Structure 1
Amino acid sequence: MWQIFSRFLALGLISFGGPAAHIGYFRKAFVDDLQWLDGKQYASFVALSQFMPGPGSSQVGFAIGYHKGGLLGGLAAFLGFTLPSFLLLFLLAVTSAQWLEITAVQGLIHGLKLLAVVVVADATLSMFSQFCQRKTAKVLMAATAVAIMLLPSMLMQIGVLIVAAIVGVIVLTRGEDIVPENPPISLDYPWLILFILCLSSSLFLIGQDDSLWQVFAQFFQVGSLVFGGGHVVLPLLEASVGEYITPDRFLTGYALAQAIPGPMFTLATFLGADMWLESPILGAIVATLAIFLPGFLLMLVGLKSWHSISQRPHIAGALAGVNAAVVGLLLAALYQPVFTSAVKMPVDMAMVVIGFSILKVFKLGIVWLVIGFASLGAILTLI
């Protein structure tokens, strides 16, 4: 468990760039470097997370931990990856954020955002090589990227994944990598029952009192409804807790959540601390656990059987289509918000090109890239 926790903790400290970047970091660390799972297994976890509500990249991390060490492994992965952003946002909620105004700190963060461009570009290229070998898959990838770039929304994302799955069933079902048998499927229904009970309770508790259960109910509902993770959670959170927090304070929390590494869903940490002033740490813990819990419960419903499910011919074809679409989603995310929020000047693009070249040619470890980009980013802002 310690190995899983420590590996995800290290990634939680440096994973800037949002869900797409996190998927890139996970792939490099656990598929390329540690080889805890192969590329096909990893892609199946990514595809499953796309169809589940909740924090997409954290769900992938949870699945990797579960694959390596069972339920405790999944919890260790979640705790390690989430702990840095949780602690930072809690401290920023109860203190001031003046240190973020320090020029060197801003430069360090900017350097790590540029590293996120390199990591996402590498992940996109690797997944394209693996899952877009057929013409149909390439067309699905390109169409997905174009659709998301032109009409970015949660509904569009869900729509293109559904279309990709249908096209995959029709066109991509036949292939040498498809297993003809129908392996048995056994879902973990206790987790589904627990999810339904929690959701039903949260619906009943909304507006009933001002206890911590109310805080839990509000954030659990948001976690149950948001597809796509990341920035998609913002409007739902604002609608759910807007009456308890001023708009200025809400936007401050959102800005801080973007400025630190780790999952965007830890914005709940900042908001929970603000909502429960009697004990900010308790409010932060309850809100954070509540917003992550639905996605993890639903992942547990299908994780054990996901490999068997994905081996069924038509489902395997649908999965091939979804994998191609996921590459398109990564490509769209590489442009917006990863590239557009990081590359502002020619020197930024130069750093991205140099970093990508070093990564592909010299296979430099992620730790050294983090040190290099963070240091160079801080130095350039002081010149």
Structure 2
Amino acid sequence: MAGRRWRLAAATALASAVIGVLGAPGAAYAAPGTPQPPSPGPSAGATRSLEDVHREVETLYRKAEAATDAYNAAGEQLRLQEKSVEEITRRMTAAQERMDRLRNEAGALARAQYRSGGLTPQTQLFFSASPDNFLSGVALARKGEQATRGLLAQVEAVRGELQGHAKAADERRKALDAERGKKEAAKKEVEARLDAAKKLESRLEEKERERLRQLEEERARRAQTAWLASDAGKGLAGQGSAATGEGKRAVDFATAQIGKDYVWGAEGPQSFDCSGLTLKAWAAAGRAIPRTSQEQWRQLAKVDVKDMRAGDLVIYFSDASHVGMYVGDGTIVHAPRPGRQVTLAGAGSMPILGVVRPG
């Protein structure tokens, strides 16, 4: 009897262990020959895993976008430094031409003195046979001395100017090298982040990639709904937004780019990054704005979210690393990230830092 009870307890323990294994999260075992019901979708464990992937991918793309802003900023500084070098070169050329003219004048003066026997004007006057010539010559000598002193002063001034330009040019060249280094470092970081994100996504099956896209869209919808219900977004949905003539032209340009690929560092015409799109849209409206989203946030006039109108720029994330253009009805047009195209999105689908107005 005791043996039967022992065998029953052992069998029960074994069954419990088997059930425990089969019921473990993420387990994919089934009894041979037992038909399984169709899966309703990813298991809770799989969903959590996919959400982790989603967060990691988004983090990588966000870091890539921040690095893209640094790349664009370095490129802008590089262009400014190059212009500065060109201006310094122009000034050096003009100063060198002035120096050449002064040297010619000094040479002519030296030759004139040589032809007069090397005597100073005062000595020549002393030996003058005519008192009238002597008296008139005194005034001329003084004028000559003043002209000589003026010539020498000009030579020294231009020489100092040339030295200053040479020093400035050397500093600009160093600054150029530094900006090139920053740009290259930012480029490497962008490429590394994008490569990591692409590798991560490439390990997913097609259905998982589609589910990843759905998760992204669902999160954006939830964020937009919450934003529209907040004090900041309340009343914006369902309403147009008055725009200036410039603002309307900027919006028309930006929305005409819908469907074009996001490419980091791109300013069109076939592809854009986020700030490249807003830059070109406002250029089409006749207004120049800074190249990067961070500089757009820093330099342009800030307006309250509830007062924004079509054409205003909505700046996202605490580091101002993303930007979209408001088109009205609680909506923006923007270039989201690599692997996506220029599209419309809810203005509140990402964390808003603030709103700026180009004009």
TM-score > 0.5 by shorter chain = no
TM-score bucket (shorter structure):
under 0.3
Greater radius of gyration (CA):
2
Tell which has more relative contact order, 1 or 2 (C-alpha 8 A, sep 6+). 1
Q: Which has the higher helix share?
A: 1
Normalised to the residue count of structure 2, the TM-score between the two structures is 0.23
Q: Which has the higher strand share?
A: 2
